[in-house]
Amino acid sequence: MLLNINLLTFFKSSNLVLLFMSLGLLSCKDNSASDDLVISNDKSQLISISELGFASNAFELSVSKNSQLDVFDSLFLDKGAYKLPGNPDKQKLHAFFEELREGYFNKDEGIDYSIIRKEYHTFTHAMDVMVTTHALLQSGGGVYLSDGERASLVLAALGHDVLHTGVNNSFLIQVEHSYYEEIGDESLQEKRSANYVLELFGKHEILVIKDGMNDMQKKQINDARDLIEQSILWTDIKRHKEQMEKVSDISRHLVSLVDKHRENSKM
């Protein structure tokens, strides 16, 4: 069945990121408990990529910093399922992971964390969304996506809530927080997260264009960066209705295409 390229483009940039908004409750538990878990330095057993799926327990996978790194390694290193354009080495990927992870524990000036705790936007939640995105892709969700696009979505899942304050955008706007003054009122925290992830890419030489790369390699890197950025921006809950309407319209069009081809006995 032939599919309109515009439909594929939309799915690549937004359809799977519905997941980011719908998985919050899976790891939305007392952050004080998850903080205690992730600062442990206990050595975990190596995790195989075959163990990661819909039944994975995000809290068990995040029992220590080492176990979190094992999950990341199983996805992106050695025989992992995902290869980023440019093939960054292990040292650079680990440095990126370390700094990205630290961003989830960031405390923001002007917010009283003795009253407001990060119950929702934790690194355990990010791990959960990353593994579930992987499970969706492996179970058929990535059939129309390239290797670089699949890797980009999984990495976007891990970084989608980094630097989140623990309060919503409306709160920051109403109290005229410095972030609102700096970024504006459109997808405020999502822009912070996306910008931070892109900054870390540059700092750790991941998804950056280098001398000697051909045009195809440069395009793959630019496309990956754009897909990661747009995926994170689409997690703004204000865009949820808009996205659901687009998915609904496309679903009806896809069903219509399938029905037409079924009516043609030669297809």
Are residues 121 and 237 in contact, defined by beta-carbon separation less than 8 angstroms? Answer: no
Q: How far is CA 81 from CA 8, 88, 126, 129, in A?
A: 22, 15, 18, 16
- Within a 13 Å sphere around the CA of 38, how many CA atoms are in the beta-carbon half? 23
For residue 203, what is the domain's CATH number? 1.10.1300.10
Domain that holds residue 55: 5-263
Give the total number of structural domains in the chain.
1
- In tens, the pLDDT along 42-82 reads 444 678 888 899 999 999 999 999 999 999 999 999 778 89
- In tens, the pLDDT along 13-25 reads 444 445 554 454 4
The tokens for 32 are 């004080």
- In tens, the pLDDT along 175-213 reads 999 999 999 999 999 999 999 999 999 999 999 999 999
Are residues 165 and 179 in contact, defined by beta-carbon separation less than 8 angstroms? Answer: yes
Cβ-Cβ contacts under 8 Å for 204 (sequence gap 6 or more):
88, 92, 93, 95, 96, 99
